[in-house]
Amino acid sequence: MTRSRWRRRSTGRKAARLGAAALLLGGLGAEAAEQGEDAGPYGPLSGDPGLSLGEVVRAAVQRLPERLEPQAREREAEALERRAAAWLPGNPALAISHTNDAVGTDAGNREWEGGLEIPLWRPGQRSARRDLAEGAAAQAQAGREALRLEAAGRVRERLWGLALQRKRVAMARIELETAEALEEKVTRRFELGDLPRSEVLMARDRVVQKEAALAEARSGLRARRADYRRLTGLERTPQQWREPRAEGGKAPAGPEPYAELLRDHPALARARRAVERRRAQRELAGEEAAESPSLMLGTRRERGAGGETVNSLQASLHIPLGQRTQTQYQRASAGVELAQAESRLARLRRDLRGALERAHEAVAAARELLRRARRREETAGETLEMARRAFEAGEYDLIDLLRVQDRYAAARQARAQQALELQRAIARYNQAAGEVPQP
């Protein structure tokens, strides 16, 4: 073996080792290779083995503007509970009146009355208010869980988008190193007189193209990092965030597929709680549409023309009658909102079932595409090995070798990308199933 041939093979082995290392770095821990890049919102993110996906979701929830709504609903539920536990259904009223005949006969008659009007609970009114308070509290809790699910969906998309972009950077780096190794090999053969200068220029042009592709991939990665930071406020990512598929990934069957899986879905729970609250509001509207009875307790002081004074106590009960029409109207008006909430619940249940069906098919399709991508990569790798040997022997032109390399690079990148696409499809299935990662 000549010295030049040994050096060419050594260069090829070095490029292969560099490519393998970069491929390993192209996974979820690829940021380790980027530590020399710029800092700030676009700089590298460190992988933290102690950070869980649920903790990232919790950090994202704290930064969502929508987090204020469940808090406000909890305060509303507390106020409704205090209202239901009050001694009286409304505020008592103080009544004072004075009568004299100064403008009329002016005989010296004087009369003072003072009393306290106390509203009384209608039958069923207190329990209706209590039901509304419980419904509001349940709706607030369901809203908090649904918000965590929404945050989980955003975090999942950011993390898997970040992983895919890291993989693109790693693959672009491998392709650049391969192109540089090929350029070195072509240059040496040109110096030995085996190849024309045009092929050296062609190899150099390929290096420039791969440098541009790597720069573009890195730019996309920096944008992904900034997006992740905006969502979570964190400078770290979990070391890995792959998830097992909800319910083992089995396709449900029967007349109501996915019914069991959707039973505890946070979005459905929030919609159900909204229906229950509207139903409680309808009942309360019927109870409070009518005027409440009231009890008047007071005193009366009279002074006649002769100067005699009479003091007495008063008690009167006020019972409104004939309020059925007003009650029916209020119930019917609240029933419109109840019907709207029930319609939203039915529509959401239908949409979630459809989303689960699509997510299930997406996982199956991603798994099949990964199987085919692996076969394609194996075939392209064998073809590339034969093309390299033929090029070394002078039986293959550089342009033909570059075409084969491009096909192999595309097949390798497709396989690497598809492996991550399968994991992202599983994460999307879990999202559609309402699975919220726990801290």
What string of DSSP letters covers 120-180? -PPTTHHHHHHHHHHHHHHHHHHHHHHHHHHHHHHHHHHHHHHHHHHHHHHHHHHHHHHHH
In-domain check, residue 438: no
Around Cβ 60, how many Cβ atoms within 10 Å?
25
Around Cβ 319, how many Cβ atoms within 10 Å?
9
pLDDT higher than threshold 80 for residue 115: yes
* CATH code of the domain containing 63: 1.20.1600.10
In-domain check, residue 439: no
Instruction: Return the structure tokens found at 371.
Output: 């199987």
Around Cβ 143, how many Cβ atoms within 10 Å?
23
In-domain check, residue 345: yes
Q: Are 419 and 26 in contact (CB under 8 A)?
A: no
> What number is the average pLDDT over the span 314-343?
79
Instruction: Provide the domain limits for residue 97.
Output: 3-432
For 165-174, 194-203, 300-309, 385-394, which range has the lowest pLDDT when averaged over its residues?
300-309
Distance between CA 165 and CA 362 in Å, rounded?
20
In-domain check, residue 52: yes
Which percentage of the chain shows pLDDT scores above 90?
Answer: 37
Q: What is the DSSP letter of 43?
A: S
pLDDT, position 226: 93
pLDDT, position 310: 75
In-domain check, residue 437: no
Please count the structural domains in the chain: 1
Burial 70-108 (b: 16+ CB within 10 A, else e): beebbeebeebbeebeeeebeeeeeeeeeeeeeeeeeee
Q: With bands split at pLDDT 50, 70 and 90, how would you rate the model's confidence at 6? A: very low
In-domain check, residue 272: yes
> What number is the average pLDDT over the span 224-249?
87
Burial class (CB in 10 A: 0-12, 13-18, 19+), 250: exposed
In-domain check, residue 207: yes
Q: What is the largest CA-CA distance in the chain?
A: 144
pLDDT, position 86: 86
In-domain check, residue 210: yes
Q: Are 331 and 323 in contact (CB under 8 A)?
A: no
Sheet with strand 110-119: strands edge to edge: 93-100, 110-119, 294-303, 309-318
For 39-53, 76-90, 264-278, which range has the lowest pLDDT when averaged over its residues?
39-53
Tokens 């929404």, residue located: 150
pLDDT, position 324: 65
Supply the DSSP string of 177-229, one letter for each residue.
HHHHHHHHHHHHHHHTTSS-HHHHHHHHHHHHHHHHHHHHHHHHHHHHHHHHH
pLDDT higher than threshold 60 for residue 155: yes
Mean of per-residue pLDDT scores for the chain: 82
